[in-house]
Structure 1
Amino acid sequence: MRELLRKMSSRKLWAAVAGIVTGLAMVFGLDENVISTVAGAVVAIASVTTYIVTEGRVDAESVKQAVDATRNAADALKSADKT
């Protein structure tokens, strides 16, 4: 699951998707304004998605470090009480 999320947050992937969509739109004869709008939307969505996923990972790591520090402090207190 993590690997899939990492791949889906890749800007390279979304740039490639935008390229494919643009190419298909040209093949089917869509208006250039429509093509530009769709390509822009794909890139914008990819940027927002990448930001959200990245910030979520950063936040999760911060929480993990806080939990580890709390556990270490609790273990230290338990050890001090036993002596």
Structure 2
Amino acid sequence: MKKINWVRKLTSRKLWTAVASFVSMMIVATGGAENTATQVTALIMAGASVVAYIIGEGLTDAACIEDETEK
């Protein structure tokens, strides 16, 4: 069984686009306004940007620390 690379999954734009699309379609399908769906989609994508940035910076910092300990 292969290990799932959660860091790669959580920083994937495809994943967050799919999540945002699913949520917005569910809002519209359950009778919500398209304006609400658009706002929720924007919030999800903004949150995804923050998550990707935090994970990316954490990986960069970890790689920098590893390089310093090897010297």
The structure carrying a bigger helix percent of its residues is 1
Using the aligned pairs only, state the percent identity: 36
**TM-score calculated relative to the size of structure 1:** 0.76
Runs of 4+ in 1 over 2 A off after TM superposition: none
Please, which runs of 5 or more residues in structure 1 have no aligned partner? 70-83
> How many matched pairs?
69
Superposed CA RMSD in Å reads: 1.5
CA distance in 2, matches of 1:8, 1:48: 11
Please, which runs of 5 or more residues in structure 2 have no aligned partner? none
Alpha-carbon distance, 1:29 to partner: 1.4
1:20-64 C-alpha deviation (Å, 9 max, x unpaired): 011111111101221111000000000110011011101100010
Of the two, which has the highest radius of gyration?
1
**TM-score calculated relative to the size of structure 2:** 0.88
1:35 partner amino acid: A
